[in-house]
Amino acid sequence: MTLSRNELIRYSRQLVIPELGPVGQEKLKAAKVAVIGAGGLGTLVLGYLAGAGAGEIGVFDFGPLELSNLHRQLIYRTGDIGKLKTELAKQRLLEINPDIKVNANEGILTAENIRGALEGYDYIADCTDNFITRAAINKACLELGKTYVYGAVYQFEGQLAVFDPRGGPCLGCLVPDVESMENQACAEAGVMGPAAGAVASMQALEVLKLILGFENLKGKFAMLDFRLADFTVIELKKREDCPACGAKARLDKRFINSLAVEFITPEELKARLDCAGLPRVLDLRYAWEHDLAHIKGDAWVDFDELIKNGAGFQPDDELVVYCKGQSKSTTAFRALREKGFKNIYVLKGGIDAWAEKIEKGMLRY
């Protein structure tokens, strides 16, 4: 695979790096990289991979761009609001580099379909923001024997790792207790845009180093505290009791799909609300989010008070809890179940799904 004159000029600033050169650039040109998540991490990872000349890039995400995405997802514009992120990302990447191939893959990746989606790619970048999808990525890469780069951001903090299933530790070795990672979606916990940018830049660099065969974070875990400008790297060890890759690995449902949660879909809740015997619908977001948009007839409750003492509700009450997505409400579900609440459900997809499927004119943020 030779480089054209135009490619030699385009990539000249990295071609002069002695360890890279034309041979390294040809490796990049031949590489196929899947980037899962086109949000705060994914958009910048995508941009850097396109700029560096990764030959084929798969963009995986679902849903339209929202106003609240723009403070950190810098390849999008205000005029793009309402359009699908995957198509927007493809358009922007081809504007950055028309010599590459970009595949836009719209739709939710699940434990059932993710293996088929990823098997055609050489390298994977996990830029998602929920643990269920991360666990599914881990499982698929274990089964396919593919190395992947994990990135995460939370408020002023970041995490980075490279997982190689061909002998090294995996995500399950790092987080064998799935419940401890459940409430991390940035839409609910918050994120500083530059923090996402810093992690994404490092994540893109790890992908490029994998392709080029350079030393990387394989078998290590980087923790970044941007509030204190602190950067720590630790060695990861493969765990014999890992629920995903250990000696007695089960690839079990608890790790892949999280602890069983009883969901109610937006359509099912709408039908219930239209009938007698209504469940109590509880909004677990911040009060200012409730003021922006909420489900008619619901009640706002303080999340911490609810999980601590039930916020005045009784174990026999029928409750439906919701947040922006479903991470925060899943945490509340578990806490209340431990307190003896039996009739509690999580609104699947949160208010985002309600706005998409039921109240299409509802403000989305």
pTM, two decimals, is 0.76
Exactly one of 141, 170, 173, 323 is catalytic; name it: 323
Indicate the DSSP class of residue 79.
G
Topology (CATH level 3) of domain 31-257: Rossmann fold (3.40.50)
Read off the pLDDT of residues 155-168 as tens digits, 9 standing for 90 and up: 999 999 999 977 78
pLDDT in tens, 253-271: 555 444 467 889 999 999 8
Task: Check if 141 is active-site.
Answer: no
Separation of alpha carbons 91 and 94, rounded Å: 5
Predicted pLDDT at 183: 46
Q: What percent of the chain has pLDDT over 90?
A: 61
Give the 3-state secondary structure of 146-181. CCEEEEEEEECEEEEEEECCCCCCCHHHHCCCHHHH
What residue segments make up the domains of the chain, in order of their start? 31-257, 263-357
pLDDT at 194 over 80: yes
Q: What is the pLDDT of residues 216-226, one digit of tens each?
A: 999 999 999 99
Distance of CA 126 to the CA centre of its chain: 7
| Section 46-50 average pLDDT | 97
Q: Is the pLDDT of residue 326 over 90?
A: no
**pLDDT confidence bin for 325, thresholds 50/70/90:** confident
Domain 263-357 is of which CATH architecture? Answer: 3-Layer(aba) Sandwich (3.40)
Q: Do domains 31-257 and 263-357 have the same CATH topology?
A: no
What is the number of other CB atoms lying within 10 angstroms of the CB of residue 43? 29
Q: Looking at residues 62-76, what average pLDDT do you find?
A: 89
Tokens representing 213 are 């065969």
> For position 235, what pLDDT does the model report?
92
What does the DSSP assignment read for 95-136?
HH-TTSEEEEEES---TTTHHHHHTT-SEEEE--S-HHHHHH
Of the candidates 170, 173, 186, 245, the residue annotated as catalytic is 186
Burial of 260 (0-12, 13-18, 19+ CB in 10 A): exposed
Residue 123 above 50 pLDDT? yes
Can 323 be counted among the known catalytic residues? yes
